Every structure is written in structure tokens, then in C-alpha cells.
Structure 1
Amino acid sequence: MADTQRIQELTLEEVMSDRFGRYSKSIIQERALPDIRDGLKPVQRRILFAMNQDGNTYDKPFRKSAKSVGNVMGNFHPHGDSSIYEALTRMSQDWKVREPLVEMHGNNGSMDGDPAAAMRYTEARISKIAGELLKDIDKNTVDMVLNFDDTEYEPTVLPAKFPNLLINGATGISAGYATDIPPHNLGETIDAVLYLLAHPNAELDDLMQFVKGPDFPTGGIVQGLDGIKKAYETGRGRIVVRSRTHVEDLRGNKSLIRVTEIPYEVNKAQLVKRIDEIRLLKKVEGISEVRDESDREGLSIAIELKREADAEGILNYLYKNTDLQVTYNFNMVAINHRRPEHVGLKTILEAYIEHQQDVITRRTRFDLDKAQKRQHIVAGLIKALSILDEVIKTIRASQNRKDARDNLVSEYAFSEAQADAIVALQLYRLTNTDVTALEAEAAELDKNIQAYQLILADNKELNKVLRQELKAINKTYRNDRRTEIQAEIETIKIAKEVVVADEDVVVLVSHDGYLKRSAVRSYSASDPEDNGLKEDDYPIFTERLSTRDHLLMFTNKGNLIYRPVHEITDARWKETGEHISQTIGLADDEMIMATYAFKTLQVPGEFLIATDDGYVKRTSVKDLHPGRTYKKRAMVYEKLKTASASVVNVIYLPKPAIGSTVLLMSKQGLALRYDLAEIPVNGARTTGVKSMNLGEDDAVVDLHLVQESSEVALITQRGAFKKMAASELPITSRARKGVLILHALKSNPHTVVDFLTLSAATDPIEIVTDHRRHHDVLPADYPLSNRYSNGTFVVDTDAEGTPVTMRIKPKTLILS
């Protein structure tokens, strides 16, 4: 079978593995990652080499970028013109590279992310410092290989007279590898190279005396010395890059935040847009206007603040929520000996020194060979001039140039090279003056040859040459550091006053779990009774609060729901608001039974908590601080013993209740009173201690604090209302059965539904039935009863329903 018809049977896995392996190797070595020696990717190296070969250097006029791109694409880089032009443009952008390698006329893009003009409109040439990367490339200093079509030779690396990998940094993504090497200061980096040359065993700390950290072209402030050291040691590390800002005072007690430097590779236009969005959405209080005032003098973003705004607080918010501060992650990967490696600072500097030693060695050999060849020619010319008449006679007797050369070789023992030079000698050179010049040249050549041979023979002499060249580069191109280094990463704390405007609102929480905040203006313009709730729902909490206040809502199933007031849905007073189950799931029989508002959560005090199955505890407020997930799930404040149990009351005690006793009543008409001190303080996820010794089918209906002079009122399931003195109930001990407070009936006996402590005789009481009917009672109209009385019937249960709870009737909120 012919070769053209041979078919190989291979598995798909083998083919895919082999082809992808070749592709990966290609893009790792030949496209995306820089070489550790010259810090260039292949496309960058080819651009600089092609422009240099074309004479497009800093001391010549600019040429069209399109011509350079065409040369690179046609001779060295068989890829799209757009990718070549993009690489060419990036090397000219002084906000992307610390030392631009290309100079460009025309629009080469901007910090706002604007693209460069088309390559037919721009002109480019390599910069003066880029010429140092290419210097001596014509002296066999680097390996040259054939291009893609074997018509030209291109370098595998540039001579690189300065450590470009660190100075200009690199970024790229390939198969399985990525690199992020930040730019550094040229002077600092060369100082470190010189130190390492003199101290080959130097530690990282020694080198970091010179290389302090990244030096971004856009300046800014770098925080995190530990991250820098880790990166220089392992190739990986994390730092924070912060904008440079200052606050300016304006007239009218106003101020302005001026941003003059932004983090590396941050899009300025997007940054300004993001800050303006924060202003428009009022995510932070106090920004009145954001302007980009950048011009040819430099970058300038003006953030104008409102009167008496907290400039430092706003700046901290912007640091945390915009690219005014970013995290930069070192990932220093470079091609070292044809392999991708994570490299540290010392490894990069050692590889650069090794490369320079190789370049100087190869250049010296080239110069030595050239000098020795010239020395040989000069010796021949001096000899010829000493026997000039014989030489002329021999040449005149020869038939042609070749015959003349052969005759000189055979008759006077000249070499062929010397004979060629003699034959080519012009007549005007045959003077005494020229002999003197040749002798001087011979002496100079001899001196140079000795110097070259010394460099090749002695490593110290080679390093001396390297040191001199580096110092010359340093002297010519050194410039000041732009980025400030700070040792510690500053922790950003955002004050709530900055994020939330101090605005008075009316907050409503309903029995069925609806909550809302309304502007005072909306409440004042509406009928307070027209609150948007369903007909059978009613408010259990209505107060005027600040948007900076905090709301704690306790459910009967032991769950605590926390909401900062500013996070509650803003709705008009006539609207229903949001149901708590939209963000936090509640059980079908779960409801909010107590709500408290606080200016701050750092308040002292405790909550007194009682359950219907006879448990009680005190829990410190600090134990009920919300966690990070408060928006999605409730916090447990009471661990119930059984699924059927529920909390009957939660009372906030801001300080020890001196002279107060705890009063509990049970469904079967028993009351127990004892000292508050008998109840221990327990954590949130606990049940507590026994509050009352309950009989079978009995349950605690409520708990309140009473004084010796207090009066209490209770309601029974038959609609009977009873008012009695707390002093009627003796003070005993916790966990007892209690004393009877109802007269026992054989037929349809009374059971206690709820009770409360009367705060003032004039406050009306509201009794709510299972038909959601509200019945008002004025306690002053009823006399005090003794313990064995069943009270007075006030609710018609047949018409209004069975009472389920009672409370002091809430007063209409009056806003001044």
C-alpha cells in the first residue's frame, strides 16, 4: 500500500492528548509567558527586533505603525495584525509599562479604556531605552533561529542591558499557567543586581533593601510588606493598592476629595462612573458631585461633598466598594530554561546576571575574533609597505587580481587575506602617514585583544564590565519611585453614619408579619388608621424611629429577626409593606409577638423570656447580636423543648429591676410570684429553668414584672374581665404551683387567656378575639376584685368571638 494511503488507527484520547499537549507547549513557550532573561513575550521581542532591523530607532523619524506591523507579521509573527498592533500599542502606554519601549505619535489609547487609533493613523519607533535591550545584537550575543518560513533569522532572546522582566512587569494567560508580575523601579532593580553581583550568597532581606516593592507607572500606595516578601520568596503574594487622595476645603463648610493617582490597570472612566452611581443610588450619604478633571497636567478626579459631610468615612466607603482600592495578586511565572516556573526575586536577578555574563562573553569573543582578523590584515599591510617597490613590481607583472594575490602569497609569504587587502589597497594610502596610522592601529588592536582575552579568562574582569554597563544604564535612565510602600494593610471601618442618612421615619410591624417604614411626611398626610393592612390584621408596633436605629423582632417559636431600620422596605403609609417571609421563612403557626427598637446594639441590659410549657430565663443583649446571615435566616433566642411549645412574652430589662417581682399566670387560673433574682442568666440557644410547676393540660399564658403596689388585669375565655392588686398574690419561690386566682365552677369553668400589668388607670385595654374583633375596656370603670372572684363579663363571645390576647391600647402616634 502506498504511503499516501496509510491509515493509522488511534484512540480519540491519544489524539486529543497529543495534539493538546503540543498546542499547550506552543502557547506557553511561544506566546503568553515572558522569558526570564529579557522579560519579553515572543510578539514583543519580534516587534522590537523588526523595528530595529528596519532602522526605526529613537534617533530616526517616526514611521507608520502599519508598516512596522506588516514587517513583523510578514517576517516573524504569523498571527493577526490586530494582536501585533495591540502589543505594539501596549509597549507605548506609559500608564501600563514603567519604561515605555515604543514611542508613538497619535492616539495610543487612554486610562479610560479607549482603544488606540487604527494603525494607519499612528506612527511609532522604538524608544531610546528599548535600544538598550537590542544593543550588540549584531555581535552574535544571542542565538538566532530561522523564522516560520525559513527566510529570515530572529533572536530567541534579546541581549537586554537592563532587567526588563522586573522593570516593566508582565501579564499573560496560557494553558494551565498565568503570570502577573508588577512593574518595578529601574534604579532600585539595578542596585539589587549590582549587590547580588558583589554578594552571590545574599539573602532575600538583603535584596529587599534595594527593591522595596512594585513601582507602578500610575503611582498609588501599596500596603502589605508581608505580601511583597512572600511574593519575592515564592512567586505568589497579595498586596493592596490604594489611590492617592487628599481632602481640600471649599467655601461654605464644604470639602472635596481629590484623587491624583489610581491603582494600576484600573479603568478611570469606569471608576468615575461607579462613584457617581453610588451618589445617584444614595448608597453613601454626603456626595454631591463627581467630576473627572484630568488634563495634560495629570490625573485628577474631584469628589465634591455636601456641607459637613464625613470625608474620611466616605473615602473609606469608596475604598471598600470601588476600585479606588484594589487587591493585586503576584503570580510571577516566567520561562526559565525553556520551562515555565514560579520565580522569586533572587531567581529572576540570578537568571538575568547569568544571561548578561553569557551576552558579554559572546560579544567579547566576537570582538576578539574581529580584532584578531584586523590585526592580521594590519600586519600584512605594514609588511607590504616596507617592501613596497617589490610588491608593486609583482602586482604589475601579474595578469589579473587573482594572479596578483597568488603571486604575493607565493613570493612574500603573505596569507590570502593579507594579499587580498594589499591588492585592494588604494594608491593614496601608500604614504608615510598611512604607515604611522597602521602602526598606531596595530598597537590599539594589540591592547584590545589583551583586554578581550583577560575578560574571557577571568570571571572577575567579566563582572567588572557588567558592573560598569549597569552603572551606565542606571546613570542615564534612573528616575524616582512613584509608588509609596506601606508596611501594613489598613483595616477599613465604615461608620453607619456615612452609609445611612439620619432620617426620621415611622416603622410599623403587624400581627401577621408585615413591616414597613414610611416617611414622616407620608404618615402625617394620612389617616393613622389607614395603614394599608388587611382588614383582620393589626399593628403590634408603631413608633417614630431613625433610619440608623435597629429593630429586634421576637417570634413565638423562639426565633429572633433583626433588621436595621434603613433596610426595612420604604413604603407609603397607605401601602401594606413587605412580609417578613419574603426574606426569612416562618412556620405556619409562627408570629411576631414582641418588637423592640434600639439606637445601638451596644446597649446594656437583658431580655426576660418565658414559655408556655413552664420555662423562663434571662439573656444578655450582647448574646443576641446578629450574625452575617441575618438577612436570610433568623437567630434562635430560645430553644424550645417541644415543637408545640411557644414563647409567651419577651421583656427588655435595661437595668436591674429593683423592687420588681416576676408574676406568671397559668391557663387553669394559678398565679406564681417570686423574685427576679431567682432567674439565672443563660445564653441564646438555651431553654432556661423551670418557671412554674404546671399540672396536666395546664400552660403559662403570660409573664410580667410587678411591684407591690401594681394592679393586674386578666381576661378569661368566657369574656370575663378581672382587675386585682398584685399584693393579693404572695411572693414565694420559683418552680412552685402557685395560688388559685379564679373561683372554680363545676360547669364551664373560667380559664385565663391573658393578663397584663396596668401602667395607669386611665389607659384603655384592648382585647382581641379569635374573630379579630377588638373590644376596648377602661380599667378605671371596674373595681378591684379579690383572688377568688371570676370578674365581670365584658365580651359577648357569641357575637365577638373568644378572647385570645389583651394589651394596653396603643395610642395614636402624634408627630410634632
Structure 2
Amino acid sequence: MSKKPVSQAIDTFIEEKITSERLEDIVGERFGRYSKYIIQDRALPDARDGLKPVQRRILFAMYKMGMFNDKPYKKSARIAGEVMGKYHPHGDSSIYEAMVRMSQNFKMGVCLIDMHGNNGSIDGDSAAAMRYTEARLSKEAEFLIADIDKRTVPFIPNFDDEELEPTVLPAKFPNLLVNGANGISSGYATKIPPHNLKEIIKATIEKIDKPDLNVERILKIVQGPDFPTGAIVQGRDGIRQAFETGSGKVIIRSKTFFETFNKDQTRIVVTEIPFEVNKAELVKSIDMLRIDKKLEDLQEVRDESDREGLRISIELKKDSNPDICLAYLLKNTDLQITYNYNMVAIHHQRPVQMGILDILDAYINHQKEVITNRSNFELDRAEKRLHIVNGLIKMVDVVDEVVHIIRQSKNKQNSKENIMNAFGFTELQAEAIVTLQLYRLSSTDIDALIKESNELTEKIEWLTKVLSDEQVLLSVIKKELKEVSSKVGTERKTQIEDEISAIKIEKSDLISEERVRVGVTKDGYIKRSNLRSYVASKQPGLKEQDGMLFDQEVSTKDTLLMFTTLGNYLYMPVFEIEETKWKDLGSFINNIIPIEKNEFIIKILCISEFVEDQTLLLITESGQIKQTKLSDFNVSRYTKPIRAMKVDENDELTSVELGPKHNIIVFTKQANALRFNSTDVPIYGTQASGIKSLPLVGDDKVVKAIYAKSSDDLVILTSLGNLKREKVANIPLSKRLKNPIQLFAMKKRNPHFIRDVSRLSNEQIKENVSVLITAKLGSVQLKVEDIKSSAEYGKPFVDFNTFGKSLFITIETASSESIDEDIIEKGEAVQKEKPVKVPKPKAEPKPIAQTIIKEEPKIQPELKKTENPVKNEPVEVVKESEQKPVEKETKSKKIQIKKLSIFDEEDDWKE
């Protein structure tokens, strides 16, 4: 055979068998058919009987099997097989799952299947296999399927045309509203909550009586959803909107109460939970809040549910606030959920979002058809029966002749024909006569026939009225609805509340006050540890060459304000800091609140309360100064740096001090100082840039600005490690922007620049508090009494060759402080003061923190002490790995953290 005929045959085959169509046309047409199928015949309920196809087929199959509520149970596997083989050509697991759901009293408003065995639980446990469980129809299901044998609803062939199945059930109550529905199809979804059967039936009767009924009247009858799990529904406006449009939102809240145990402890007891919430998962989520320490007041969570009902016990710690704990649980767990109505159902073969009035109308119209069809069926049967009864009564009068004719006849058919010809009986009457049993000819049965004839006549008249008078028809519907309500109606379980209770809760309210240790390192690591971990660890966990900038015992209710060189501050509640062991590294600040690469923390203040009468003094290197109320720094959102002071591009924030006092003293790098009254500096907001404080000459820059009293002393730390003690009164009281005085001369070789300045009060002198000098390669600790009034440049306390550049000085705060009452008189250089003792603050005193600066490799591990260059006395040198925080009490919760880049030409720490 040649190739040409073969190719021609292939071309001919392709032309005959293969068609050319656009892909979008093929996909669109196929998906359209698929969507239509799953919308109409799978996922969405019918508005008339409220059932999905699989549910309807299960109930009908059980009806055909005679599995009524007064009959024995049958294996669920047998039922699933019957449904799958005759009506529902899908997997047996989907059929069984639908059966199980219809039997669960925690998911259905009224159960439609009565199941024996394990049919699942509110904890999410799956049901036992279908071979183990048994089932039958419930009484409520029988009301849905009653009268189906009276041609009340249309039937269609099943999938293989061997059986007939109903397209809808007669439904003697509005099942769609009573049991609700939940499903997702292609492009449509439905979510209808269950309602109380008595209320829905009452509303249906009211709608029948008053066709123009409005939603407001319905709301007086149907309060809202009635979930099988009870609980509390909040938001009558959402219910009204859902009843009107089919879409709305309500809040479902658990029912709880407080219970006292162990005299002073409280537990929260949950007795009802929201609809479709998994109880086991709920208990687990609450317990995870305890494990993760998100709600530290939780002590124990137990599921105490038993045969008497649901009960979840949530035990709280002593001194906890039950109301705040409950509010937090409602907000952060499924003890309270949002329920969104989406009342979509199949109406007239299409999906429609329907309000409650539309659903009631659909149900009433369906009942009209059902009652009409049933009446026609019963009327036809009654008329046929009356015709037969009348024939039998007539036959009694001529019974002898009828018997004679039958005996003379050849067979049954011949008997019928003979008596029909002889007496004028119809074929139907003749059939009844020839099949009549002889004992029925007794006088008793004749009386029964006459009575039956009268009853049939009355019934025919009644059915004729039902079919001819709509009001009579509606009265039949109402009567049957009342009968259902009286037999299977139950009382409301869910409580309805008009308004949605807003839960506003501060996270700090959930934190029990506790003393903890907080550390911040110069490399930007922050951590919070309990005091037990702090005591157990000799040294804090640090990266190599890192050091502590803040190390203080604080309360979990306190707040850290961390100020940066760019004029920003980081708001960090202590309870928000992740709790770790003291020997751990902690969290990187930049991962919590991102800051710029060229932005460095220069000051950390620990604030217990943002009081109105306290201010912060802020100053930049260029001398821009301002005061800002402490209360202005209290914010509610703190996920990013917040502006504390507007700083120019070429400027940096260099000093932040907590006050106020009557005097402000500004110090510059080149030993200039200007003292003026604090009233010369206005109080600005956090967005302002401030005003000029003093004139700067050449490359001089501001190092520090402090609050001070005229009775105070000053301790000045120089770049070469000298400490100079000076009285505040020796610095003349001047005005802002006046020329400053020179504290000491600038030498040409090895000049002493001011590194840091700290105020020294009379109380600190009396208590002989500790002084910590921190340098680049270590630190030196001494007492106030060691610092005497001295020469022009002070006395050296830090060996430059051993410790490198001096960085800052920290003086322990005294336990009490006198109130500043300076009397300012014109021309007076020194202020007069009247010291007054103030009581200690209520809060526990906080220890001052020691700043630890990274060590250079040149520091030998064995180096522990060095000789004091002045007194020739040993002074302890603490290496980074061996340094410990100084455990001292302080009045205010603050720590002096100095910027390590005060002098750009001398410091290289940023690199």
C-alpha cells in the first residue's frame, strides 16, 4: 500500500473526529455546567425545605426503608449503602458525614436523625465508623417527610432512571431557619444560623395572618438566632440587618461566671461556648496563653465537662483582676467570635440571598402547594371510596339476586359484567362486590358502611372547601404548624443582648507587677530576666567586646524611654521585653523597633508614671535646647521611633535629663559653662526644635545640659580621666545666650576636654554614695568622699594608659532629695535656698546601672587592679566579662547613658 492513501485516510479521520474550538469557549461551557450542578445539587439548601440534596436523599431513603422513630435502629452502613446505590452516586464517607451532622445536637437546631453510638463530640472527635453506629429517623424528621406518599411534591428519576426521588420534601416546619445551613459552592456560599422552632413557627403564622408584616414585628417574635450550644448573641442591629437583607454581623459570647476558691483566689467558669467552636481547641488556646506568658495571671485551665454539661475552669493567680482577664480571653480566644450572616438558598432554581420575610414567603407558598396537592389526592381517593361504599350499600338491598348472578357466572370477569348489566353498577363497584368477603354482609358491617359513607361525604365537602377557599387552606397550614410546635418545640437556649459590648483593654492591665532585671547593651541587645536568674548568673550574657549600657532592677509596669542621636525616642514597656535568662544574649532592639544605621541610643530613662509636673531637658551639640513635659512622651502606639526633638541634619541630640530644678547649666567640650534659670527655656512639644542656649566659638560643641540647684556641687569628668569638683554657686547665674565662663584653660598639649558632668547634691555627699567612672577599656569605682575640691584640672582617677579615654560618670542617687526653692533677686549671682525634705517615693528604689564598655584585646585577662595615680591606692578594675551591676537605690527610675561619640575626632566606637 502506498503512503498517499494512508495520509489521506488520516486526514479524513481527523476531519471527521476532531473539531476545532477556542479554549475559553470549551472551559467556559464545561465550568458553567459544573458550577450549575454544584450550586443547585450539592452545596446550597433549598429555600422550601432547607435541605441539601444529600440530606434530602438520606431522609427519603430511610423513609422508604421504614426506619421511623418508633422502629428499631439499623446499621448506618446499610443506610449509606442504600442512599449511595439508589439516589446519591458519590462516596459513602460524604453520605455518612452528612448523616452524622444531622444527628449532632450541638450543631443542629433540631436533630433529624436519631443515632446510636459514637456520633462525634463538641471536642472535634470524629464519629465511629459506619459499621459500628446505628440510626433511625427522629420525630422532627418525620414531620419533614410526612405526606410524601400523597403526591404532595414532585418526583424525578434518579441517576440511573431506575428509581424516583423527590425534588423537595413536604416540610411541615420552616427547616431552613430552624436548622440553618452552611455551605460553599462555586461563586456562592451560605451561612444561616439555627433559630428557635417555636419562634419561627409563630412568625410563620403571623406572616400568614398579615402578609404585609414588617421586620420590626418579626423581631418582636423571633429574637434572633438560637444556637444549640446556647451562649450570648450581641447586636440586635446586626440581626435586624440580616433579617432585612440576608447579610449581617453579630457577636457570639460564651456564658461565664466567677467562682471563688481557696478564700482569696478566683476562677472563671465557662458553661456555654459559641456555636461551632471546638471545645478542645478552645481549652488548648487558653492554656497556650498561660504557657507563652501572654496572660501571666492564668494559673491553670481545666476541662471539667461531664454528663451534666459543659464546664471549663480557668483558675487565676492571687491578686489578679478577673474582669480584665476575662476581657482579654474574650478578645484573644474563641470564647467570643463574630458570626456573619449570608442567607443564600436555592429559590426558583437559582441562588438568592434572602431575608427572613422572603424565606417565610417561600415556605408558605411551598406549603400551599403541598396542602393543595395533598387535598387533591385525598379528595380523589375519598370520592372513589364513597363511590364504592355507595355501591356496597346498594348491593345489600339486592344481595340475593347478586349472589345468584355470581353463582351463575363463569368467572370473575363474567360476574362483574353480569351484575353491571343487571343492576347498573360501575366497574369499580362491581370489582368491590365480587371481591367482598361474605362476613361483611352482616348487619354490623352494613351500619359501618353507612357511617363511612357519611364521613366520606363530610370529608369531600371539607376538601372541596380547602381547594376552593384560600383562607381555609391557610387555616390548615396554621393548624399543622401549631401541632408541630406543641410536639417538638423547645425553649430558647441563646440569650440575646441589644448592644455589642466593646472590649477595650490595655495590655499593661494584664501584667502582674513584678520586680525584674532589665539590661541594654551598647551593641543594641535588650533583655528582661527574673531576679532569680539574675542572682544565679554571675555575669550577663554579652557578645564579644559588648558592654552594658543599662542594668537596673525595675517593675514590669515601668516604661523605658530610649533617646537616640537623631532626636527620636523608643517607647518600650518593660512587660513587652522578651523574658530570657540573664546569661542569654537577649533580643536585638532593631528587630523590635527599627532604627537608622547612623542612629545611636544616648540615654535610657525608666519611667513609672508620666506625671504632668515633670519635664525633660533636651539639648543638641549645636546648643539647641528645650524643655518638654514628661507626659508628652506617653504614647499608645510604639512600633517605630517617635520624634522627641527636631534635630537638624548636621546636628545630634547629645543630652537628655529628667527634672525640673530651678537652674540649668550648659557645658561645652572646651570647658565653657553657662548657668541660667530654667524659666528662660520654654516648654515645647515633642515636634519642636527648641531655642539657642549659648554662643559657641570655633569648633566647640555642647556636651551636657543638666538641672541643678545652687547648693549642689558638680563633678566634671575630663577626657584624660581627671575628676574636678566644683560648686554650682561658683558659676554665676546669668541669662540664656550670654557668654559662658571658662571653667579651666585649654592647654595646647594634651588638653583636658569635658567628657561628662554630673550633679552632686548635699544628700549624696551625706550618704557618701558610689561614683562609677567608665572608660573605653574598663571602669573605676570610688566614693564621693574620695573626690575633693582640687586643682584647676582636678585629680586623675583613671589611668589613661591602662583604661584609655574616659567616657562618662555615673553617681548613685541619694535616697532623699530636697526641694529647690531658690529665691532669685536681680543682680544676685548666687541663689539662696531653703532645703526641705521630701519623703521617699512609693515605688521601690531602683539600683543604678553600670555602663560596661567593650574591652580592647590589649587588656590582659589577668589584669584585675591598678594603682590610683593620685593616692597610690589600689583601685579595682572590672573587666567586661567580670563586671557586675552596682546594687544601689535611686530615687528616680533613670540611668545616665552618655553618647560615646561626643568628640568625633577622638572616638572611633561607631566604626
TM value normalised by structure 2: 0.81
Q: Which residue does 1:489 correspond to in 2?
A: 500
Q: Which residue does 2:627 correspond to in 1?
A: 618
Question: Does 2:59 align with 1:48?
Answer: yes
Structure 2: distance between partners of 1:89 and 1:159: 23
Q: 1:663 aligns with which of 662, 665, 687?
A: 665
Deviations 1:34-56 (A, max 9, x none): 11111111111111111011111
Q: Which moved more, 1:242-251 or 1:261-270?
A: 242-251
Identity fraction in percent? 46
Q: Which residue does 1:755 correspond to in 2?
A: 757
Question: Does 2:220 align with 1:248?
Answer: no
- Contact 2:570-2:638 within 8 A present in 1 as well: no
Q: Which residue does 1:126 correspond to in 2?
A: 137
Q: Unaligned stretches of 5+ in structure 2?
A: 1-11, 813-847, 851-885, 891-911
SS of residue matched to 1:418? helix
**How far did residue 102 of structure 1 move?**
0.7
Q: Which residue does 2:899 correspond to in 1?
A: none
- Contact 1:285-1:498 within 8 A present in 2 as well: no
Q: Which residue does 2:652 correspond to in 1?
A: 646
Pairing 1:179-190 to 2, within 5 Å after superposition: 179-190=190-201
Pairing 1:112-511 to 2, within 5 Å after superposition: 112-389=123-400, 391-392=402-403, 394-430=405-441, 433-494=444-505, 499-511=510-522
**How far did residue 429 of structure 1 move?**
3.6
Structure 2: distance between partners of 1:241 and 1:607: 47
- Contact 1:614-1:692 within 8 A present in 2 as well: yes
Structure 2: distance between partners of 1:245 and 1:775: 58
**Cα distance change, pair 526–257 in 1 and its aligned pair in 2 (3 A):** closer
How many residues are treated as equivalent by the alignment? 804
Deviations 1:449-472 (A, max 9, x none): 221121111111111111111111
Structure 2: distance between partners of 1:79 and 1:779: 93
Structure 2: distance between partners of 1:794 and 1:115: 77
Deviations 1:327-365 (A, max 9, x none): 222222211111112222222112111111111111111
**Cα distance change, pair 58–649 in 1 and its aligned pair in 2 (3 A):** same
Pairing 1:62-101 to 2, within 5 Å after superposition: 62-101=73-112
- Contact 1:512-1:592 within 8 A present in 2 as well: no
**How far did residue 814 of structure 1 move?**
4.8
Structure 2: distance between partners of 1:371 and 1:290: 67
**Cα distance change, pair 493–421 in 1 and its aligned pair in 2 (3 A):** same
**How far did residue 813 of structure 1 move?**
0.4
Question: Does 2:555 align with 1:552?
Answer: no
**How far did residue 745 of structure 1 move?**
6.3
Q: Which residue does 2:593 correspond to in 1?
A: 584
Q: Which moved more, 1:151-160 or 1:475-484?
A: 475-484
- Contact 1:723-1:779 within 8 A present in 2 as well: no
Structure 1: distance between partners of 2:349 and 2:613: 67
- Contact 2:772-2:779 within 8 A present in 1 as well: no
SS of residue matched to 1:121? coil
**How far did residue 153 of structure 1 move?**
0.8
Q: Which moved more, 1:310-319 or 1:492-501?
A: 492-501
Structure 1: distance between partners of 2:536 and 2:287: 33
Counterpart residue type for residue 568 of structure 1:
I
CA RMSD of aligned residues (A): 3.2
Q: 2:614 aligns with which of 605, 612, 621?
A: 605
SS of residue matched to 2:220? coil
Structure 2: distance between partners of 1:677 and 1:242: 56
Pairing 1:526-565 to 2, within 5 Å after superposition: 530-533=539-542, 537-565=546-574
Structure 2: distance between partners of 1:74 and 1:794: 98
Q: 2:811 aligns with which of 808, 811, 816?
A: 808
Structure 1: distance between partners of 2:474 and 2:583: 86
**How far did residue 740 of structure 1 move?**
4.6
Structure 2: distance between partners of 1:169 and 1:635: 51
Structure 2: distance between partners of 1:36 and 1:481: 23
**Cα distance change, pair 784–66 in 1 and its aligned pair in 2 (3 A):** same
Structure 1: distance between partners of 2:672 and 2:256: 70
**How far did residue 186 of structure 1 move?**
0.8
Counterpart residue type for residue 651 of structure 1:
E
**Cα distance change, pair 107–668 in 1 and its aligned pair in 2 (3 A):** same
**Cα distance change, pair 518–397 in 1 and its aligned pair in 2 (3 A):** closer
**Cα distance change, pair 331–619 in 1 and its aligned pair in 2 (3 A):** farther
SS of residue matched to 2:34? helix
**Cα distance change, pair 720–244 in 1 and its aligned pair in 2 (3 A):** closer
Deviations 1:65-122 (A, max 9, x none): 1111111111101111111111111111111112111111111112222221111111
- Contact 2:283-2:302 within 8 A present in 1 as well: yes
Counterpart residue type for residue 192 of structure 1:
A
**Cα distance change, pair 576–388 in 1 and its aligned pair in 2 (3 A):** closer
**How far did residue 138 of structure 1 move?**
0.8
Deviations 1:251-305 (A, max 9, x none): 4534443322222222222223333333444443344433333222222233344
Structure 2: distance between partners of 1:466 and 1:289: 55
Pairing 1:13-24 to 2, within 5 Å after superposition: 13-24=24-35
Q: 1:689 aligns with which of 691, 696, 703?
A: 691
Pairing 1:704-783 to 2, within 5 Å after superposition: 704-717=706-719, 722-736=724-738, 738-743=740-745, 751-759=753-761, 760-761=764-765, 762=768, 766-769=772-775, 781-783=787-789
**Cα distance change, pair 718–122 in 1 and its aligned pair in 2 (3 A):** closer
**Cα distance change, pair 465–602 in 1 and its aligned pair in 2 (3 A):** farther
**Cα distance change, pair 409–736 in 1 and its aligned pair in 2 (3 A):** farther
Structure 1: distance between partners of 2:65 and 2:402: 43
SS of residue matched to 2:55? helix
Q: 1:568 aligns with which of 570, 577, 581?
A: 577
- Contact 1:260-1:299 within 8 A present in 2 as well: yes
Q: Which residue does 2:874 correspond to in 1?
A: none
Structure 1: distance between partners of 2:889 and 2:700: 44
Structure 1: distance between partners of 2:697 and 2:31: 79
SS of residue matched to 1:124? strand
Q: Which residue does 2:893 correspond to in 1?
A: none
Structure 2: distance between partners of 1:547 and 1:341: 55
Q: Which moved more, 1:392-401 or 1:177-186?
A: 392-401
SS of residue matched to 1:209? helix
Counterpart residue type for residue 14 of structure 1:
D
Structure 2: distance between partners of 1:94 and 1:535: 64
Counterpart residue type for residue 349 of structure 1:
L
**Cα distance change, pair 108–796 in 1 and its aligned pair in 2 (3 A):** closer
Structure 2: distance between partners of 1:350 and 1:219: 28
Structure 2: distance between partners of 1:801 and 1:414: 134
- Contact 1:773-1:801 within 8 A present in 2 as well: no
- Contact 1:242-1:325 within 8 A present in 2 as well: yes
Q: Which moved more, 1:44-53 or 1:508-517?
A: 508-517
Q: 1:680 aligns with which of 679, 682, 685?
A: 682
Q: Which moved more, 1:226-235 or 1:363-372?
A: 226-235
Structure 1: distance between partners of 2:204 and 2:515: 64
Deviations 1:634-673 (A, max 9, x none): 323223221x4211112223xx54xx12222333544333
Counterpart residue type for residue 574 of structure 2:
V
Deviations 1:466-496 (A, max 9, x none): 1111111111112111111122222335575
**Cα distance change, pair 425–620 in 1 and its aligned pair in 2 (3 A):** same
